[in-house]
Amino acid sequence: MDILILCLMVLMGWSAWIAFRPSSRHSKDNQIPPHTDRASEQISDLKVDPAELDNIPEPHSRLFTSDDEHQAFTAGQPVWIRYEDKSGAITERVIEIYRPRDDEVIYTWCRRKQAPRTFVRRNIHQWRLLPEHFDFDPVVARYWDEEGTRDRLEKSPWRRWLRRQPKEIADRYK
């Protein structure tokens, strides 16, 4: 029985590696990898009609600068990003910028996680402004005003911060 469980674990690990391994055929172009579910996640994060996706410009492979961040914030436009986290995992997200600054960290609302998230600018491999606008949420902005400048060890995570808010605010984000 133990051998059967071990074999199943190895098989599941191998199949997960096959599904999420980087594909060399996408390294030179800026297309969303068709072999991943992340491409459909990106589309589901958009408020744009999928028929309009052909009008979205190709992603940029250049660094996402503070000027780009300020432009997105001022226009109220979400940004699609392909991001590599510190463990090396690459994900695609649609983010809304809430606190533009000239430092290395971007303060956002992540549509995929439905929570405030920070992203290190140098770890954004590709990005593009999306042809839509988001509604600025003052509660998210207040979170970043209160927690964004705190040291990482002192910062309250979003869910814990919400528990300290009035019930009507906390209930909006459940």
Q: Do residues 121 and 63 lie in contact, with contact meaning Cβ atoms separated by under 8 Å?
A: yes
The Cα 135–Cα 111 span in angstroms is 12
> How is residue 46 written in tokens?
């958009």
AA letter at 134:
F
pTM here is: 0.67
- pLDDT 10s digit of each residue in the chain, 174 long? 556 555 455 555 544 444 443 333 333 333 333 333 444 444 445 555 555 555 566 788 888 999 999 999 999 999 999 999 999 999 999 999 999 988 899 999 999 999 999 999 999 999 999 999 999 999 999 999 998 878 777 888 999 999 999 999 989 987
Q: Which residues contact 160 (CB under 8 A, 6 or more apart)?
A: none
Q: Do residues 75 and 129 lie in contact, with contact meaning Cβ atoms separated by under 8 Å?
A: yes
